[in-house]
Structure 1
Amino acid sequence: MFAREEDVLEAAAGWRREGRGVALATVVETWGSAPRPVGSHLAIDEAGNFLGSVSGGCVEGAVVAEAAEVIADGAPRLLEFGVADETAWQVGLSCGGRIAVYVEKVA
C-alpha cells in the first residue's frame, strides 16, 4: 500500500503510543532498477498490520515477516533482495534491481 512518507512515520508513532510493538523498514540502498527510492518506509505492527511500501511488490511479505522477529527480539536487520538472490523471482525483483532494507524496532 502506497502512502506519503509522513503518513507512514506518523502511523508508526501512533501505534507505539497505543502500546503496540512496531518496526520501521527503510530502503537504504538501491542498485539498478528498483521499484521504490531510497528513504521509502514500511511501518509494521506486532499484529502484522502495515502501511507504506519498500518495493511495491512481494518484498513486503518478506519484510513483514522479518519485522515480526525484529519486534520480538529488538535486534535490527539489514535485508538485501535482488537478482543475485535465489529468492529474487519469489520476491518480485526479476527485473534486475536490488534493494537493501533496514528494519528496526521503534522504541
Structure 2
Amino acid sequence: MSTNDSVPHTDAMAWAGSDEVLGQAAAWLDEGREVALATVVSTWGSSPRPVGSQLLVDRQGNMVGSVSGGCIEGAVVSEARAALEDGKPRLLDFGVSDEMAWEVGLACGGKVEVFVERLGD
C-alpha cells in the first residue's frame, strides 16, 4: 500500500477474485477503514468482467479488485466514494449503443449493472 493516502491507486490484488476481495474487506473493516463494495450483478453483450466481479474502495481511494478492467471503473469508484459519504446503496447501469461504445471503452457494445454498497455500520 502507498503511504500517500491522497493518491488513489490499485494494489497488487487488482484482479483478485471475490474471496480475496471479501477477505480484504474484512481486514480493512477490522482496521477501522470505511469501505464500499461494488459488484457486477448483470451483463449483456460485451462486458469486460463477468457477473460476480468485485471492486473494494476505501475512503482514501485504495482499491482491490475490478469490475470493468478500466472502462467504467472511474465512474464506479466515484459512486463508491459517494456511497461512503451518504451510506446509500446504488445500482449503476452502464449501457451503450454501438455508436457510443468506443467513447466509454465498451468496444463491442453491451450492458453492465454494478451494485455499490457501503460495508459495515
Larger Rg: 2
Q: Is the 8 A contact 2:47 2:111 kept in 1?
A: yes
* Equivalent residue pairs, number: 106
Change in CA separation of 1:87 and 1:104 when aligned onto 2, cut-off 3 Å: farther
Q: Is the 8 A contact 1:59 1:92 kept in 2?
A: yes
1:11 aligned to 7, 24, 29, which one? 24
Identity of aligned residues (%): 61
What is the TM-score normalised by the length of structure 1?
Answer: 0.90
Change in CA separation of 1:71 and 1:87 when aligned onto 2, cut-off 3 Å: farther
Measured after TM superposition, the shift of residue 97 of structure 1 is 1.5
Measured after TM superposition, the shift of residue 88 of structure 1 is 5.0
Q: Measure the CA separation in 1 of the matches of 2:22 and 2:100.
A: 29
Comparing 47-56 with 92-101, greater Cα deviation is found at 92-101
Q: Measure the CA separation in 1 of the matches of 2:100 and 2:22.
A: 29
Aligned positions of 1:21-100 closer than 5 A: 21-84=34-97, 89-100=102-113
Unaligned 5+ residue runs, structure 2?
1-13
Measured after TM superposition, the shift of residue 15 of structure 1 is 0.8
The list of structure 1 runs, each at least 4 consecutive aligned residues, that deviate by more than 6 angstroms after superposition, is none
Q: Measure the CA separation in 2 of the matches of 1:82 and 1:47.
A: 28
What is the TM-score normalised by the length of structure 2?
Answer: 0.81
Q: Measure the CA separation in 2 of the matches of 1:7 and 1:68.
A: 21
Structure (1 or 2) with the greater helix fraction: 1
